Amino acid sequence: MNTRHILALSATLLFGANAAHAHRVWVLPAMTVLSGTDQWVSFEAAISNDLFFPNHHAVALTQIEVRGPDGSPVELQNAIGGEIRSSFELHLQQQGTYLVSLRPGMGRRPAGGTGGPGAGGGAANQGSLFGSYEANGKTERWRGTPETLVSEGMAAKPGFKLRETGGRSVVTFVTLGKPSKDILKTTGKGLEVDYVTHPNDLFAGEPATFRFLLDGKPAANAEITIVRGDDRYRNEAGEVILHADAGGVAKIKWPQTGRYWLEATASVKGELHGVPSEKSFTYIATYEVLPD
Amino acid sequence: MNTNSTLRLATRLGPGLLCSAGASFAGQLTATVEIPQLDVAEYHRPYVAIWIEGPDRSVTTNVGVWYDVKMAKDEGITWLKDLRQWWRKSGRELDLPLDGVSGPTRPVGVHVVKIPEALTAKFADGEYNLVVEAAREVGGRELVRVPFTWSKTPAIDATVRGERELGAVTLRQSN
């Protein structure tokens, strides 16, 4: 795994650089709704500029984790780790919904955290620290760990602002037969979605209701960005940005059929070694929206 | 006379206008489903699902699903998901094949589908749709809704035409 790219991605998300040109991480199933008893489905996973065209960097196969409808691990089949994309297949033999996710924290520098949301969640608290301060009339950026935060005396820098990356989830779903909900259960850690509308039951013309939770509590005002795939063939990506309501609920109206990339961000205010900090969490998912 | 546009107009005006008054006996419903001839390089018979939707658009009754019922290892079921609306609204809940509903794919032509009275006997009065969805391997997909009003004295005589994958779909009472 190329750590540098992941860190660059994190920084982009944190500092709100032009999202339209961000590197986007995704795991994309060839299809999300399957029927039958014994089926195969293929996937690609990459970090790219265009959705969903591998053109930048692969997601390492070791990051990819799959669990079946009953929660048991499902093995990747015919997996290939490429330079600009990884690919694999799944052999679906159990009816229901499967969860494909990237293992959290991998490729990140372990950095501890404030003990706020996400802490104690294993890899979920391996965030990195980002800061900014004023020096000679310019804004300087800083990146480090809880240790360097103290050893470099950052708290004393003028106008020092500290941001931490909390957990980042990257997920997608496929369903054989009737959609099931066991695998969708939220854990109460990090930024998650309580799927009021099942993620493999999305149709153009039917708004989907997703409830965003941060550490199990409504992620009020979480910012949600959706982008339809094939932006390579459009002059404008046409991303839709919306916010969850006070209950963390967002009703998403899909502009049309297609494959969508969703990114949600939410943050909490905390404190690290006496320095006020803002800790942000990211949830990324890939969906397929079918015709009515 | 352009039948096609007339029928489409009739559909837009709503089911009430499609019904002729006067019938006093519910009788049996008979649908016809036309599978059109298509000029394509590779033709496979479409998968077709036929059902009746209640006023809330949930599936009230499955009338038919035509697919490759005889394929080895139930492989025909692999493509049932391409009948997207039927699959999500009903198919995925069913243990297929379903007696009296599952059947083999049909060739080009007009197919008569009798809807047993046993299926409609329980209907409450209200607005319904006969829905026909067709999906063809290496071809397109189309869904046609034929609205009708069910009452103690229904008078149903409706036709809606598909644009490509389906021809005329009709629903009539056969007193």
Would the CB atoms of B78 and A179 count as touching at under 8 Å? no
For residue A263, the SS3 value is strand
CA distance to partner chain A, nearest, from residue B68 (Å)? 12
Q: Which helix (H) or strand (E) holds A224?
A: strand A223-228
Rounded distance between C-alpha atoms, residue A145 and residue A125, angstroms: 12
Q: Determine the average pLDDT of the residues in B124-134.
A: 95
**What pLDDT was estimated at residue B57?**
84
Give the model's pLDDT for residue A181. 97
pLDDT at B9 over 90: no
B102-106 LR contacts (CB < 8 Å, sep 24+): B102/B65, B102/B67, B102/B69, B103/B64, B103/B65, B103/B66, B103/B69, B104/B66, B104/B67, B104/B68, B104/B69, B104/B70, B105/B45, B105/B46, B105/B47, B105/B48, B105/B66, B105/B67, B105/B68, B106/B35, B106/B45, B106/B48, B106/B66
CB A111 within 8 A of CB A127: yes
DSSP lists the bridge partners of residue B157 as B172
Cβ within 8 Å of A, B 34-63: none
User: If we measure between CA atoms, which residue out of A219, A237, A221, A241 comes closest to residue A229?
Assistant: A237
State residue A74's pLDDT score. 98
CA angle A182, A106, A69 (to 5 degrees): 15
Helix or strand (DSSP H, E) at A9? helix A3-14
Burial degree of B165 (CB within 10 A; 0-12, 13-18, 19+): buried
Cβ separation A33–B84 shorter than 8 A: yes
Q: Which residue has the higher pLDDT, B9 or A195?
A: A195
The vertex-A184 CA angle with B95 and A61, nearest 5°, equals 100
Q: How far is B89 from chain A (nearest CA, A)?
A: 10
Q: What is the pLDDT of residue B113?
A: 96
The pLDDT tens digits for A58-100 are 999 999 999 999 999 999 999 999 999 999 999 999 999 999 9
A151 φ, ψ to 5°?
-65, -30
Q: For A115-144, what is each residue's pLDDT tens digit?
A: 333 333 333 334 478 999 999 989 999 988
Report which of A125, A69, A58, A122 is spatially closest to residue A100, judged by C-alpha positions: A69
In chain B, residues with a C-beta closer than 8 Å to the C-beta of A38 are 73
Residue-level pLDDT at A105? 57
Query: B47, B71, B74, B77: best mutation site toward chain A, by most A Cβ within 10 Å?
Result: B77
Pick left, alpha or beta for residue A33 (phi over 0 → left; psi -120 to 50 → alpha; otherwise beta).
beta
Q: Does B78 touch chain A (CB under 8 A)?
A: yes
Judged by CB atoms closer than 8 Å, whether chains meet at A33 and B79 is answered as no
Q: Which pLDDT belongs to residue A280?
A: 93
Buried/exposed code over A221-236 (b: 16+ C-beta within 10 A; e: otherwise): ebbbbbbbbebeeeee
In chain A, which residues have pLDDT < 50? 1-20, 106-127
Cβ distance B88 to A33 less than 8 Å, yes or no, reads yes
Q: Which pLDDT belongs to residue A7?
A: 46
Q: Residue B141 and residue A291: Cβ atoms within 8 Å?
A: yes
Residue-level pLDDT at A271 = 86
Whether chain B has a CB inside 8 Å of the CB on A177: the answer is yes
- State chain B's mean pLDDT as an integer: 85
Check CB contact under 8 Å for A36 and B84: no
Tell me the HSE value of B14 on the side-chain side, using a 13 A CA sphere. 3
> Among A247, A266, A144, A261, which residue's Cα sits nearest to residue A199?
A261
pTM for this entry: 0.81
* ipTM of the predicted assembly exceeds 0.90: no
Cα–Cα distance, A200 to A191 (Å, whole number): 20
Percent of chain B whose predicted confidence (pLDDT) is above 70: 84
pLDDT digits (tens, 9 = 90+) for B141-161: 999 999 999 987 778 999 999
What pLDDT, in 10s, does the model give residues B13-49?
A: 333 333 333 333 456 899 999 999 999 999 999 999 9
How much of chain B exceeds pLDDT 90, in percent?
A: 62
Res B18: pLDDT: 38
DSSP string, A50-115: BTTB--SEEPPGGGEEEE-TTS-B---EEEEE-SS-EEEEEEE-SSEEEEEEEPTTTTS------S
CB B64 within 8 A of CB B103: yes
